[in-house]
Structure 1
Amino acid sequence: MVSADNVNLDVLELIFAYLFGNDLTSIALVSRSFFAGVIPHLYSTLLFRLSHAKRYPAVMSPFAAIAAHPEFAIHVRHVDIRTVPVVKTQYNPKFLSECTRALDMCPNITSFRCSTNALPPFIGALGQKERLRDLRIHANLTTDQSTKLIKLSKIRNLTLDFASWNIMNLLPQWTELLQSNLTTLTLFMANELNETVLGAALAHLPGLLGLHVVGCAKIDHATIFNVVAHTPLLESLSMTTGEGGRTFPQPPTSLPCLRNLTIDVRLTPVAPMHPPGTSALSTILSYINASSPRLVSFIVKYPDRQIAIQNSLVQQLISAHASTLKNLSFIDCTLGTTDSLAALCRACTSLERLEMWIPVRDLTIYTIALSKSSTLRTLVDVDSHVHTHNPRPTLAQDGVRFMMASIPTLQKIVSDGRIWTRRTVLNVHDEAEDEDEIKVGLERRPTHGPARHWFMPRRE
């Protein structure tokens, strides 16, 4: 008699790869064969976030589970520590001990993330991970701690958040060790980083594909263009703007491979006739266009205030990159007019994903503008309090159905912590879709923080 228990274990593992979260836990309780098939997926990622910390130690941490069952440690590939429980203003020593023991037991870790300032106890264990390739850490470290950390020589994707001067001073030494492996370097809020150190570090990385330097007080867009001469193969670049009037290298630095560009706009005093940030954005776009890059992704973010992207900038973006752009993000800002939005949607013939603030009160006119796109598949509502001081209406099912009826290619809308997906019922008597015939599915978006920085290239 054929039963699920007779199915080959490799087949079960392939099936269970499509499940996640509580579904994996439930599957593990069905039978011994299901338990064996689901274990590699269940323990592949050890994630600890705020919701777990609130219930600790009443609920066992995944690290304690590994310590109690060492036979499962071989399956662990990813460790993601987004918070650490606190006891009397200090990190819980029991939790730190559990984490350290678990890390010592897991030989196959390929990615490690520690988003809180609690890395030092784990540095020793990380030094033993020969397969570690992705590292993202809160890098507020001492010189001794930094010296131990930079012995990791096989990292491919390195992200240092809030890095101290101690590790920044050692960055050139570290990149020299990583020069044959490192493909992406991300430095976020490293206020002690300066042009001399960054230039020396990048000099060892001629094959670097991704550089993201955001929120670093001493590094602005002019500095970035001075140092990227060392990295001509860049495909992804993120930068923070600074004061206007800075001199750029001439002739313009060649970035022919650039595909993803992110600009974090910091406002500076400008002439009354020019909106804040417009000059810097225009200058950056003009400068990189000299290399004739084919941008696939463009992200721009303003500080916490309402700014309208001017039509001249939209036209500048369209004229150079309309045929290649697939992903556009406008964060903490709006497009100046619906005419600009319509022009963007009409011209960008490859556009698949658009992130912008959705004005629910003016949904009809904005939907008409969006309908000019014949390729748009995903629309993300970048909700921001800066657009209004009053609570705004929530995008409801009727609005979602209207948008999907007006934009035939639209498959997904993300708004207010919800993910709406198209489920269409075709009318056999009429090839055209009617709003009443469109069914939408709804699921809640995860409440924990994003796994990636906002400025990183978007992925579906």
Structure 2
Amino acid sequence: MVSADNLNLDCLELIFAHLSVNDLVSVSLVSRSFLAGVIPRLYRTLLIRLNQTKRYPAIISPFATVLAHPNLARHVRHIDIRTVPAVKSTPRPDFLRDCSLTIALCLNLVSFTCTPNVLPSFLLDLQRKESLQHLRVNATLTPDQAHQLAQIRNLNSITLDTATPHTVDVLSRWSANLTATLTTLTLFAIQDLSECILESTLANLPKLTGLHVVNCMKIDHNIVLRLVSYTPRLESLSFTSWETTRPTPLLPVSASLRLLKHLSVDTRCELSPNATPSLWNAIIQLTRAWSCSLKSITLKLSDKVLIGDLFIKELLDTHGATLTHMALLNCALSLVSVRSICTRCVDLERFAINIPVKDLYSFADALAASKSLHTLSDIGDTHHSVHGQRIFVSKPDIYTIMEAVPKLQRIITDGRVWTAIRWPSKVSMNDQIKLHLERKKSPPNHWFMPPAGCNT
């Protein structure tokens, strides 16, 4: 007789892959066979988050657990450090030591993320990781440390969140050693990045499929759009633009990005409340000249502006038939534009926009035109969050939207995720809906990165 306890270990691992971390811990207490099936999944990713660091050292960190049981290190594939325990703003040396020793043990490490400024403690251990493919770090380094960083080889993706001039100086040499493997390069908030350095770096990366250069003050849209001639295979592109009188360059056919699927534009400008950035129209015309079919687009403004219906029409005329994800951050839309998006984007699955609580019923009615939308993200009102009291989306508001949009499964708002559980009603045509609420997890990637399903 077959029971859950004598299932093949591979089957157990496939089942446990659908469980949350808390559920995995509970399941591991059932039996020894369940524990054996849980361990590879439970220790696949080592995370350290703010709620853990606040209680450190009262709670044992995952790194200390691996050090106490070194056999667990063979299961570790991902390490994600978003914060570190500190005393008077100084990182605790015992925690950094545990992290360093754990990294040395994890020979099968595939990705490493470290956003606090503590990377120098781990540089020597990272150089010996032959399986390491994905790196995201705060690259505030000295000349010697930057040289050590450039010794890491065989990477598929690199994300540098801020960097000193010393790190910028090694980019060209580092990229020359990654020509055969690197496919995604993300440079965020690097104030010393120059056009010359970026050009020499991209010249070494003809196989690049993802390029994201955002909030780098010396690099604007004109520079990025000129340099993509070195990376014709791009499927994902992000850059920062400034509203300017300089025209967007029309690239030659040889430099067109026919494979582009995801586009993010971070626009810094001071416009009147009813002015759409003229640059956006030029960019959409440029994508039309490239003959690419965008699946995802993210547009962000520094100040909240009402986006004109004519721009939305042009965007939909060009890419409405292929878009599955649209995010309009710090943008206001008319209900006419919302309805047009939901009507013409027949494959739209995810939509991120500020939910207008004061006009909720009309907004929900406009969303109802979509037959494919399954995730709605409320990006909030930045202006009111900073300068005044924001009106929050209540549970009855969530019900109103869920009832209006038949395929909608999730609404993400105010740090919470509302999930709809639907079943047919016996007394009406509409489904019965039960809402499940959970806390929103911190996003693993920057806002401008392609969403799941649109990744390069």
Per the TM superposition, whether the score is higher than 0.5 is yes
2:71 aligned counterpart, secondary structure: helix
Task: Supply the distance in 2 between the matched residues of 1:210 and 1:92 (Cα, whole angstroms).
Answer: 36
- Which segment drifts farther, 325-334 or 237-246? 237-246
**Contact 2:418–2:435 (CA under 8 A) maintained in structure 1:** yes
1:330 aligned counterpart, secondary structure: strand
Residues 1:320 and 2:323 are matched in the alignment:
no
The structure 1 segments of at least 4 consecutive aligned residues displaced by more than 6 Å after TM superposition are: none
Distance 1:316-1:146 versus aligned 2 partners, 3 A rule: same
- Which segment drifts farther, 403-412 or 203-212? 403-412
Mapping for residues 44-63 of structure 1, pairs under 5 Å: 44-63=44-63
User: Structure 1 residue 211: deviation in Å?
Assistant: 0.3
User: Structure 1 residue 167: deviation in Å?
Assistant: 1.3
Task: Supply the distance in 1 between the matched residues of 2:379 and 2:193 (Cα, whole angstroms).
Answer: 30
User: Structure 1 residue 64: deviation in Å?
Assistant: 0.7
Q: 1:443 aligns with which of 410, 421, 437?
A: 437
Task: Supply the distance in 2 between the matched residues of 1:98 and 1:221 (Cα, whole angstroms).
Answer: 42
**In the alignment, what sits opposite 1:373?**
370
Structure 2: runs of 5 or more not aligned: none
Q: 1:341 aligns with which of 324, 338, 343?
A: 338
2:113 aligned counterpart, secondary structure: strand
**Contact 2:274–2:305 (CA under 8 A) maintained in structure 1:** no
Mapping for residues 273-422 of structure 1, pairs under 5 Å: 275=275, 278-303=277-302, 305-335=303-333, 337-387=334-384, 389-422=387-420
- Which segment drifts farther, 171-180 or 395-404? 395-404
Mapping for residues 3-402 of structure 1, pairs under 5 Å: 3-246=3-246, 248-252=248-252, 253-268=255-270, 275=275, 278-303=277-302, 305-335=303-333, 337-387=334-384, 389-402=387-400
Aligned residue type for 1:453: H
Aligned residue type for 2:80: D
Identity %: 42
**TM-score where L is the length of structure 2:** 0.94
Equivalent pairs counted in the alignment come to: 450
**TM-score where L is the length of structure 1:** 0.93
- CA root-mean-square deviation: 1.9
User: Structure 1 residue 287: deviation in Å?
Assistant: 2.2
Task: Supply the distance in 1 between the matched residues of 2:230 and 2:241 (Cα, whole angstroms).
Answer: 20
Query: Deviations 1:431-453 (Å, cap 9, x if unpaired)?
Result: x31xxx42133221335x32110
Task: Supply the distance in 2 between the matched residues of 1:251 and 1:124 (Cα, whole angstroms).
Answer: 42
Task: Supply the distance in 1 between the matched residues of 2:52 and 2:274 (Cα, whole angstroms).
Answer: 48
**Contact 2:412–2:440 (CA under 8 A) maintained in structure 1:** no
Aligned residue type for 2:283: I
User: Structure 1 residue 374: deviation in Å?
Assistant: 2.1
Query: Deviations 1:36-70 (Å, cap 9, x if unpaired)?
Result: 11111111111011111101111111111111110
2:108 aligned counterpart, secondary structure: coil
User: Structure 1 residue 2: deviation in Å?
Assistant: 4.9
1:302 aligned counterpart, secondary structure: strand
Aligned residue type for 1:457: P
Task: Supply the distance in 2 between the matched residues of 1:29 and 1:99 (Cα, whole angstroms).
Answer: 27
2:84 aligned counterpart, secondary structure: coil
1:205 aligned counterpart, secondary structure: coil
User: Structure 1 residue 405: deviation in Å?
Assistant: 2.3
Aligned residue type for 1:296: K
2:450 aligned counterpart, secondary structure: coil
User: Structure 1 residue 188: deviation in Å?
Assistant: 0.2
Task: Supply the distance in 2 between the matched residues of 1:233 and 1:106 (Cα, whole angstroms).
Answer: 33
1:332 aligned counterpart, secondary structure: strand
User: Structure 1 residue 250: deviation in Å?
Assistant: 4.5
**Contact 2:296–2:450 (CA under 8 A) maintained in structure 1:** yes
Structure 1: runs of 5 or more not aligned: none
**Contact 1:240–1:264 (CA under 8 A) maintained in structure 2:** yes
1:172 aligned counterpart, secondary structure: helix
Task: Supply the distance in 1 between the matched residues of 2:33 and 2:284 (Cα, whole angstroms).
Answer: 57
Task: Supply the distance in 2 between the matched residues of 1:249 and 1:429 (Cα, whole angstroms).
Answer: 60
**In the alignment, what sits opposite 2:449?**
456
Task: Supply the distance in 1 between the matched residues of 2:88 and 2:423 (Cα, whole angstroms).
Answer: 57
Query: Deviations 1:142-194 (Å, cap 9, x if unpaired)?
Result: 11111111111210011001011111111111111111111110000011111
Task: Supply the distance in 1 between the matched residues of 2:384 and 2:327 (Cα, whole angstroms).
Answer: 16
User: Structure 1 residue 428: deviation in Å?
Assistant: 5.0
Distance 1:85-1:446 versus aligned 2 partners, 3 A rule: same
User: Structure 1 residue 3: deviation in Å?
Assistant: 4.1
1:178 aligned counterpart, secondary structure: coil
Task: Supply the distance in 2 between the matched residues of 1:250 and 1:402 (Cα, whole angstroms).
Answer: 45
User: Structure 1 residue 345: deviation in Å?
Assistant: 1.6
Aligned residue type for 2:299: V
Task: Supply the distance in 1 between the matched residues of 2:287 and 2:294 (Cα, whole angstroms).
Answer: 10
Aligned residue type for 1:340: S
**Contact 2:220–2:241 (CA under 8 A) maintained in structure 1:** yes
**Contact 2:421–2:436 (CA under 8 A) maintained in structure 1:** no
